[in-house]
Structure 1
Amino acid sequence: MRRTKEESEKTREDLLNAAVRIFSEKGVARSTLDEIAKAAGVTRGAVYWHFENKTQIFEALHERLHRPFVDMILEDLEKDHPEPMVQLRDLCIQIMLDLEKDEQRQQTLILFFMKSDYSGDLAPYKDKHREKKAESMRLFKRYIEKAKKAGKLNTQADPELLTQCISCFMKGILFEYLDNPEGFDIENKAPKLISLFFNTLELEKH
């Protein structure tokens, strides 16, 4: 029974991995379940065992991308760190270093970040994915609020604005890396860039 469950979970992961490749190559609208099944090395029936349609696969891919990220932040927020902004800096660096080691995550990010226009059947998912993004932003904001409460930031510092600044900066690094992984040494550059950015936030203490 356990083996059957493990096999089922592996099949689901294989289907999601295959879907990333097919969706990226052809677009979600022009992709078919048959193509995804063939790329995963399974039958069409195996696809329907796990997913009703392409949009359900699309949503499952986004959840697989989003949920571990949120869980990572929630676990980190449980730690009692004396310097919340340093804690947030280290988290941002770790996110980038983990990405460099995870090709599937890279390909999924490219799909959602660069190749999805949320048209047609995908339109209803645009607001859902925006809400998930907002969830991540709220979690980042908690670090800044902790820092401000602990006197580590200027009392006039705007947590909302700083959260948006960090989000935009991280997106910039992501785009540069995903657009040209061979030409952007994320393992070397990301820690330096992120540290430089957070050093500028030291000005907010005064």
Structure 2
Amino acid sequence: MKTNDKVETAIVALLRHSLVDQLTFAKVAREAGVHWTTVKRYFGSKEAMHGRVRAAEGSQHLGTRERLLAAAKQVFKQRGYDKATLDEISAEAKLTKGAIYWYFDSKDDVFLALMDVVLTDLLREIPEMVEQVFEQPDPEKAIKAMVKHEFQRCIDDPPTLLYEFVSRRRDERVKQQLDGSFAMLFTGTEEVMQALQKRGKVSKQVDARQAAITLHALMNGTILMWAVAPESVSLLDLADTVATTMVNTMIKQ
């Protein structure tokens, strides 16, 4: 199979459990079995990759279910769960409302399926990113770059969908999915921390489980404070402080 075909096939496979704007060069490269620079050369930029994939949404390569979930993501982000309607989702997907009922029984089912996609992607992405950062020759510099990048990404595309999930935690099905997903996230990050400790990248004086939870609390807690009070909290101004706290807690002991 030609390299270009491998890349295209990898994207189709990833879209079974990820949305278009969650695709990265690294993810596509891992799925295709090529180096990430190969994917970058093929598309030029991440924005160009996302644009080309979205342009193909009407083709046979992207399934109807993926199109519906991509549309649901946009509608739930813009309108919130309570105001969002199945008519709006089908219109965003450029499909009939009947297409929704072919795959989902209700708006709740669409919402829970979207949660599964977003949280599964979170489980795959964050532990891998943490491991890559701590493995860098200068982990302190890499951690600062990571925090700034993630904070800038939140500014450019606020994580309103995740807040929407949390706001519906009273729903028992949502609660179970959130509890299960975040338990797996903490465990996955803990395992990364333990592996890094064995390689001397993270202090062995640190409890790996507590370090994993602290890392997510520092990042997500700061982002939450910014979301609640954006006029009082500057994410980018806090990036170095958050990164330095991580370094002092996990490396310099």
After TM superposition, is the score higher than 0.5? yes
Aligned residue number for residue 3 of structure 1: 59
1:51 is matched with which residue? 104
Aligned 8 A contact 1:85 1:147 in 2: no
User: Residue 182 of structure 2 corresponds to which residue in structure 1?
Assistant: 133
Amino acid at match of 2:170: Y
Residue 150 of structure 1, CA deviation: 3.2
- Structure 2 residue corresponding to 1:72, chosen from 125, 135, 140: 125
2-structure distance, mates of 1:147, 1:85: 12
Find the partner of 2:154 among 90, 93, 99: 99
**Unaligned 5+ runs, structure 2:** 1-55
1:91-126 Cα offsets, whole Å, 9 max, x none, are: 4544333333324xx22022123x22333xxx1231
In the aligned structure 2, how far is the partner of 1:144 from the partner of 1:84? 17
Q: Which residue of structure 2 lines up, in the alignment, with residue 14 of structure 1? A: 71
Query: 1:66 corresponds to which letter in structure 2?
Result: L
- 1:176 maps to 225
What one-letter code is carried by the residue in structure 2 that aligns with 1:161?
A: Q
| Contact kept? 1:176, 1:184, Cα under 8 Å | yes
Instruction: Measure, in 1, the Cα distance between the counterparts of 2:251 and 2:89.
Output: 51
The structure 1 segments of at least 4 consecutive aligned residues displaced by more than 6 Å after TM superposition are: none
Paired residues for 1:117-196 under 5 Å: 117-119=169-171, 123-181=172-230, 183-186=232-235, 188-196=236-244
Residues 73 and 13 of structure 1: CA distance in aligned 2, closer, same or farther (over 3 Å) = same
Aligned residues: 194
Per-residue CA distance 1:133-171 (angstroms, 9 max, x = gap): 111112222342234323455544211122222222222
Residue segments in structure 1 that go unaligned for 5+ positions in a row: none
In structure 1, what is the Cα distance between the partners aligned to 2:138 and 2:123?
Answer: 17
Q: 1:89 to 1:69 in 2, by over 3 A?
A: farther
SS in 1 for 2:59: helix
Assess if the C-alpha contact under 8 Å between 1:84 and 1:144 holds in 2: no
TM-score for the superposition, normalised by structure 1: 0.71
Distance in 2 (CA, whole Å) between partners of 1:51 and 1:163 is: 35
Question: Structure 1 CA distance, aligned partners of 2:201 and 2:128?
Answer: 22
Amino acid at match of 2:153: D
Output the CA distance in 2 between the equivalents of 1:190 and 1:47.
43
Pick 1 or 2: higher relative contact order, CA cutoff 8 A, min separation 6: 1
Give aligned-pair identity as a percent. Answer: 17
Contact map agreement 1:147 1:153 (CA 8 A) in 2: yes
Q: Distance in 2 between matches of 1:80 and 1:204?
A: 13
Tell me which residue corresponds to 1:61: 114
